[in-house]
Amino acid sequence: MSLIAPGSVIGILGGGQLGRMLAGAAERLGFDVDIYCPDTDAPATRVCRRHWQGAYDDGALLAEFAAACDVVTLEFENIPVGAVSVIEASGTPLHPGQRSLSLSQDRGDEKAFLNSIGVATADYRLIDDNTDIAPALVELGAPSLLKTRREGYDGKGQAWIRSPADIESAWKSVGMAPCILEAAVPFEREISVLVARSSNGETKTWAPPHNVHLDGILSTSTVPSGLPADVEHDAREQAIMLVDALGHVGVLALEFFVLPDGRLLANEFAPRVHNSGHWTPEACQTGQFEQHIRAICGWPLGDTRRLFDAEMVNLIGDAGLVTPDHLEPGDVLTLYGKREARPGRKMGHITRRLNPRKD
């Protein structure tokens, strides 16, 4: 892969807050940024060189966008694979590619792939219609969690089945769409590994944060995780194994359940920068957004050493109306530029820099 030089144009598919923060990192490294998304006023569209407003199935406009860029990336995993195909066919480099994107879009395919490379997950069954649920529940045991195979996020598209009496209501609540039924996991805590991979196979990981969710939405990510070093090492190695198997270029997040005995079960992966890594720009030598730009542009990856212990706190709904008066010394506030606060909507985050690291 040839180096993409400062002054070049990075294209981003998607206009949300992750695109906005990627654009900021790209700007600091001397790049211009174009954003492609259908929305008229998305957060990233107000901090870019040019906003290409169009549908993800507008092949002609996507090809024009690709021709205007030196490299293209994506900021969320629900970009239609067809849009990525247009970019790839144009000849403009795109990272990550179709494989990472398509596997992450289907929970059944994702878990099958993870298992195929030796990354363990919770036991699960594929559910095509409601008649599949009862026999699967017998095999997995109750309670089990019904999850849509596609487009679920932040706890959406999920329903617990605690007895056969819950089957019909759970099926309706997830939209009667193809699903997986997943065995309950008696986990002790949740962590994630953020890993970056370059096109020449160089990899870097960050310290795995301990993640706490409320109502299915990430609330806090804290480092250090409090886990033994060997458990963290195992998690990092599995994340590296995943990006190598995918041939992934850029940042990827792999989420894990940690069992009481220290064993790890992968939950899911996101082929992009991730909410649980938002603490890295303020607490590490190189944050996830800069690292992603480095990776997709063929630059050497930056040092990921942690300079501070840290806690990232998501600002959800009205909490996103926080002002600097609410901050403590050492806090760093990031707001996403969203015009309206709504219940369950991520409006920003605070990174609390705690103890400086001496190692």
Does the pLDDT at position 268 exceed 70?
A: yes
CB-neighbour burial class of residue 106 (10 A; exposed 0-12, middle 13-18, buried 19+): middle
Give CA–CA dist 25/329, Å, rounded. 24
- Of 16-25, 153-162, 243-252, 311-320, where does mean pLDDT reach its minimum? 153-162
Residue-averaged pLDDT of the chain: 95
The predicted structure's pLDDT at residue 108: 97
Does the pLDDT at position 49 exceed 90?
A: yes
Give CA–CA dist 145/159, Å, rounded. 6
- Bridge pairing between strands 179-183 and 124-127: antiparallel
Does the pLDDT at position 62 exceed 70?
A: yes
Give CA–CA dist 199/184, Å, rounded. 37
CATH of domain 9-94: 3.40.50.20
Q: Are 284 and 310 in contact (CB under 8 A)?
A: no
Q: Are 84 and 74 in contact (CB under 8 A)?
A: yes
Q: Are 191 and 233 in contact (CB under 8 A)?
A: no
Give CA–CA dist 142/146, Å, rounded. 11
The predicted structure's pLDDT at residue 287: 98
- Tell me if the bond preceding 143 is cis, omega within 30° of 0: yes
Q: CATH 3.40.50.20 residue ranges in the chain? A: 9-94
* Stretch (H or E) spanning 250: strand 250-258
228-267: pLDDT as tens digits: 999 999 999 999 999 999 999 999 999 999 999 999 999 9
- Bridge pairing between strands 144-148 and 158-161: antiparallel
The predicted structure's pLDDT at residue 345: 92
The predicted structure's pLDDT at residue 110: 98
User: pLDDT tier at 357 (50, 70, 90 boundaries)?
Assistant: confident
Q: What architecture does CATH give domain 189-356?
A: 2-Layer Sandwich (3.30)
The predicted structure's pLDDT at residue 1: 67
149-189: pLDDT as tens digits: 998 666 678 999 999 999 999 999 999 999 999 999 999 99
Does the pLDDT at position 46 exceed 80?
A: yes
**DSSP assignment string, 121-157:** B--EEEESSGGGHHHHHHHH-SSEEEEESSS--TTTT
User: pLDDT tier at 128 (50, 70, 90 boundaries)?
Assistant: very high
What superfamily would CATH give domain 123-183? Answer: ATP-grasp fold, A domain (3.30.1490.20)
Does the pLDDT at position 311 exceed 80?
A: yes
The predicted structure's pLDDT at residue 37: 97
User: pLDDT tier at 69 (50, 70, 90 boundaries)?
Assistant: very high
Q: Are 282 and 221 in contact (CB under 8 A)?
A: no
User: pLDDT tier at 330 (50, 70, 90 boundaries)?
Assistant: confident
Q: Are 25 and 287 in contact (CB under 8 A)?
A: yes
Could you tell me what percent of the chain has a pLDDT over 70? Answer: 97
Q: Is 34 helix (H, G, I), strand (E, B) or coil?
A: strand
Give CA–CA dist 13/75, Å, rounded. 6
Give CA–CA dist 272/230, Å, rounded. 26
pLDDT (average), residues 19-37: 98
Q: CATH 3.30.1490.20 residue ranges in the chain? A: 123-183
Residue linked to tokens 């690291």: 357
* Stretch (H or E) spanning 163: none
Q: Are 249 and 96 in contact (CB under 8 A)?
A: yes
The predicted structure's pLDDT at residue 153: 65
The predicted structure's pLDDT at residue 151: 80
What is the pTM (predicted TM-score) of this model?
0.95
The predicted structure's pLDDT at residue 318: 86
Does the pLDDT at position 349 exceed 90?
A: yes
Query: 81-90 and 59-67 are packed helices; what angle lies between their axes, rounded to 10 degrees?
Result: 50
CA distances 229 to 37, 193, 203, 206, 207, Å, are: 41, 14, 19, 13, 10
The predicted structure's pLDDT at residue 155: 60
Q: CATH 3.30.470.20 residue ranges in the chain? A: 189-356
Q: Are 26 and 10 in contact (CB under 8 A)?
A: yes
